[in-house]
Amino acid sequence: MIQNKDLIQYILGISDNAMILGQRLGELCGHGPNLETDIALTNISLDLFGQTRSYLQYAAKLKDDGSTEDDMAYLRKEHEYKNVLLVEQPNTDFAYVIVRQFLFDVYHLLFLEQLSESKDQQLSAIATKSIKEVKYHVRFSGDWVKRLGDGTKESHNRIQAAIDILYPYTNEFFEASEVEKLAMSSEIGVNVQDLKTEYLKLVTQLLTEATLTFPEQVYFLSGGKQGKHTEYMGFILADFQYMQRTYPNMSW
Amino acid sequence: MSEAEIKSLEAIFEQRIAQDQKIEPKDWMPEKYRKTHIRQMSQHAHSEIIGMLPEGNWITRAPSLRRKVALLAKVQDEAGHGLYLYSACETLGISRNELYDQLHSGKAKYSSIFNYPTITWADIGAIGWLVDGAAIINQVPLCNTSYGPYARAMVRVCKEESFHQRQGYEIMLTLCRGTEEQKAMAQDALNRWWWPSLMMLGPTDDESVHTEQSMKWKLKRKTNDELRQQFIDQTVPQADILGITVPDKELKFNEERGSYDFGPIDWEEFWQVVKGNGPCNKQRINARVSAWDNGEWVRDAAVAYAQKQEDKKMATAS
Ligand SMILES: [Fe+2]
Ligand SMILES: [Fe+2]
Ligand SMILES: [Fe+2]
């Protein structure tokens, strides 16, 4: 049996991915290339924060010391956030936004499909509910990868550049952390290593259709799962935590 | 068409409106009706999307997950309002790109209130409470306006605006029941948003250019001053419940009128903001223009891709 404290860590790893990506998308609201994409990206952000709340409410319950979802979300040090590095990458341009989303969404869906089989009923229920949303995310980001890849010369070049920069962050998904291994061995967590083949197949298929390619020589980057983040993370948290840090112990 | 024929069409048209019939896009309409509606509806659409900016400013810093989700949803609603209103406006024979050009070049106006900055979290509460509140007062009568697509858009918009208003008030209520610091934040927001909110109901009647014609076409049912009074009468008791003070020393309930008397509005400030000299006019337009310009290659790509798909379909069909 996995101990509560490890299960909480496992849940934080999952919810931090959703939360930090949701936060990144939240920066874009009102600044998209047209109203329709603005609405769609905000919608994805909303889904991700909705999922975050379900996970964190559960984690807070497991913690059982009066902590709330907000304590769990806001009141940690940078190294205690366990999201993968990909989701904290900046909104450099719309191509980066779409590539980051697509590379995450494909993984996210495969992950949730496995998590929905978890022996932990809560996690399985959250995963099942999230799958419906994430299927839409995959479709949205995948469609845009195709439009940008096979659109104009400029869009092709921009999205290829984004892939070259962001692809090196994808292997982290499949590098199981200690806590992921623990969760997996107690049949609660997902075997992330097993997702890699299917992931590469799906992503390659779509990139090919979009006339895009993976960069050839890749040195993969990781560390987020261990709490070692990129330089961007401190700024994300400065915004995210601003109110809770400036006005501690208040309700909003 | 002869002048006499136009006159008789106009007479029929005015009569239909008087009988509360809706005018639909394919119906004949006087040129002035069309132009006036394009102006008002696009101004409204622009206000919705410019309005996303001051509130969007707090999405990344919302103080709790619940508030963040609610704010994201609110700003998304405003984008949706912009979308229906642009679509309704397009039924009058103008394209969305032309409408955007008018906004970006400064030719079209939008609600001046969004040229004020959101500098604390309480501003998000105050905007919902006061700005959405004033918008509802302006807009509820438009649910029965004469132009069908506008009236139908407004029914949907108004429902969501009243949800926003309650949500904003609830933010204020939470602050006012919180710590001293939170209450001070709420008071400060009321101080800054009160007068601009009163200005949202439009210039005083003697200075308002469009009122008479607008009344006839049911673009307006009450005058600006009547609407303003309604807003004040509704809002002051709400401030009392919050326990914060409306920043107007002359504000006093007039038993005889059954309404609040209030102090003079600084119309000089209003006209300066309308002219582009408000605290955030330039930032707001710049944000829209740069979103649009930076998005050009994306929109071009979508068009090019759709064209390629179309070509492929043609090639396989032949
Ligand atoms: Fe709205
Ligand atoms: Fe509105
Ligand atoms: Fe609203």
pLDDT tens digits for range A190-228: 999 999 999 999 999 999 999 999 998 899 999 999 999
pLDDT below 50 — which residues of chain A?
A: none
pLDDT at residue A194 in the model: 97
pLDDT at residue B214 in the model: 85
Contacts of B315 (CB under 8 A, 6+ apart): none
For residue B208, pLDDT over 80 is answered with no
Mean pLDDT of B128-133: 98
Choose, out of B64, B280, B293, the residue to mutate when testing the contact with A (most A CBs < 10 Å): B64
Query: Is residue B12 less than 8 Å (CB to CB) from chain A?
Result: no
Q: Which ligand is nearest to the CA of B161?
A: 3
**What distance in Å separates the CA atoms of residue A109 and residue A137, rounded to the nearest whole number?**
9
pLDDT at residue B254 in the model: 98
pLDDT at residue B185 in the model: 98
pLDDT at residue B188 in the model: 98
Query: Is residue B153 less than 8 Å (CB to CB) from chain A?
Result: no
Inspect the interface and report whether the beta carbons of B60 and A93 lie closer than 8 Å. Answer: no
Put simply, the chain B residues between 105 and 144 with a CB less than 8 A from any chain A CB are 121
**What distance in Å separates the CA atoms of residue B243 and residue A147, rounded to the nearest whole number?**
54
Q: Alpha carbon of B157 to those of A63, B154, B173: distances in Å?
A: 42, 5, 24
Domains and CATH numbers, chain A: 4-246 (1.20.1260.10)
Put simply, the chain B residues between 52 and 111 with a CB less than 8 A from any chain A CB are 52-53, 56, 59-69, 72-73, 75-76, 79-80, 82-83, 86
For residue B81, pLDDT over 90 is answered with yes
Mean pLDDT of B10-33: 94
CA of B79 to the centre of ligand 1 (A): 8
Residues, beta carbon < 5 Å, ion ligand 3: B 132, 161, 164
Mean pLDDT of B105-132: 97
pLDDT at residue B221 in the model: 86
For residue B210, pLDDT over 80 is answered with no
pLDDT at residue B207 in the model: 77
Choose, out of A12, A15, A31, the residue to mutate when testing the contact with B (most B CBs < 10 Å): A31
Q: Alpha carbon of A203 to those of A146, B68, B302: distances in Å?
A: 12, 32, 20
Query: Is residue B286 less than 8 Å (CB to CB) from chain A?
Result: no
pLDDT at residue A169 in the model: 98
A-chain residues near B171 (CB < 8 A): 252
Inspect the interface and report whether the beta carbons of A94 and B300 lie closer than 8 Å. Answer: no
Predicted structure pTM score: 0.96
Mean pLDDT of B231-242: 98
**What distance in Å separates the CA atoms of residue B241 and residue B254, rounded to the nearest whole number?**
19
When pLDDT is cut at 50, 70 and 90, the band that residue B3 belongs to is confident
Spatial contact of B56 and A27, defined as CB atoms under 8 Å apart? no
Spatial contact of A239 and B63, defined as CB atoms under 8 Å apart? no
pLDDT at residue B205 in the model: 82
pLDDT at residue B1 in the model: 76
Mean pLDDT of B193-199: 98
**What distance in Å separates the CA atoms of residue B278 and residue B113, rounded to the nearest whole number?**
9
pLDDT at residue B216 in the model: 87
When pLDDT is cut at 50, 70 and 90, the band that residue B317 belongs to is confident
Inspect the interface and report whether the beta carbons of A46 and B73 lie closer than 8 Å. Answer: yes
* Residue A113, number of CB atoms within 10 A of its CB: 17
pLDDT at residue B318 in the model: 73
Give φ, ψ of A3 to 5 degrees.
-80, 155
Inspect the interface and report whether the beta carbons of A148 and B298 lie closer than 8 Å. Answer: yes
- Give the SS3 label for residue A249: coil
Mean pLDDT of B246-267: 97
CA-closest candidate to residue A55, choices A132, A124, A131? A124
Mean pLDDT of B40-52: 97
Q: Give the closest-approach CA distance of B46 to chain A in angstroms.
A: 12
Inspect the interface and report whether the beta carbons of B305 and A147 lie closer than 8 Å. Answer: yes
* Closest Cβ–Cβ partner in A45, A148, A243 for B63: A243
Spatial contact of B197 and B113, defined as CB atoms under 8 Å apart? yes
Q: Give the closest-approach CA distance of B183 to chain A in angstroms.
A: 11
CB burial readout B61-77, b (16+ within 10 A) else e: bbbbbebbbbbbbbbbb
CA of B41 to the centre of ligand 2 (A): 11
Inspect the interface and report whether the beta carbons of A43 and B76 lie closer than 8 Å. Answer: yes
For residue B142, pLDDT over 80 is answered with yes
